[in-house]
Structure 1
């Protein structure tokens, strides 16, 4: 897939949007690459990363200009975006010009803007078990490895990284993850008639059925994916067995730690 250069006029020619709402370490990159490989649905990546770091307050034009990077040259006019829940407040301010209280409310405002701005919107909400997400967050921050086509930590016999005070760190992450997951679930509930809700477990263990659901839902929104099967190259950072070891260690910590 090759992105087009952003149009001269912000949003010029963009008429359709694939919007993936998710949180970090929930499988969002995997889902985005799956959608991208189907064709006809744009390139849903983090095109708005760093939007709030620019020298002036971001605007709707800034958002639309960046969305030009989500256009596949084979499908002009169709763009894609992966929007992480921690980014929705700054994006909401940019596209609405106002401040919205609450993460779920900000996410809903962005979705409302998308439906008003584009002729077609393919909305996908991705959620993952909160504890598994928190564990993944801690491992990523410790190793500095976010994505890989062949993670070294998953090689046979590879030891888990030694993470100081790992259970306390998982607990800290878990509290943030639970808040973000609740916001995503609120959006999925509010837009139940138009959103496709996908879980990490479905994404990783039910590939064929999940792909069918993506295609069916995209077609229901008048999109036309070109392929019937996804192409995958990314793998999970750690194995299921390693993740289970960290999970069990954390649950033992909760059972025995005074004051929790």
Structure 2
């Protein structure tokens, strides 16, 4: 289901607890104009949207909020952290703070180190119902591992032996950027959306993106057997998303752009 309209207005008409997983990337302060549609992007607006996301998220559901900060007069705004803290005030748990590292960031010349990452806040409504961890190969052998206690002491955690052949991926995910040519000014990698969808939902679940943009989350949700709801207020981006999603191998029997 793809809907054209202001996401706050649309979400307010959605049922309580209808969403299993949200994977979205809201506007980053005023870094993009998005065809002049951000005149009302204020703290009051994003606070209301986060509160509505809590309402429509199922118990055990998850919201992945991919966000960065503008730099104004040499200082980062910190809006991303304010949004994360507000989510906890609305009832979400800050389940994980992850990093989206850009493998090939645009180079800048200034008096700071090269910016190359954005935050991926993972908010959960209670304990996450679904977690399908992405595994990566482990290497080598260990003679025993330790864990650090609160008082500073180290105690044996593992008696030693071969490391399990696989381990959980770390919370820093690295992707190449800039390959998309959809016409949208801020597209995150398809594999980023895919990896969160596979991690926090199961086939048949409903995935949501209130800031649809070029349709990346929707495309990956449908490709991997999830249902999808997306909202976009800009008609140009909405048409871009419809075309991208229409190219998906599976549309769960629902034509792109339908309100069914």
TM-score in terms of structure 2 length: 0.32
Point out the structure with the larger strand share.
2
User: TM-score, normalised to structure 1's length?
Assistant: 0.32
Comparing both structures, which one devotes a greater share of its residues to helix? 1
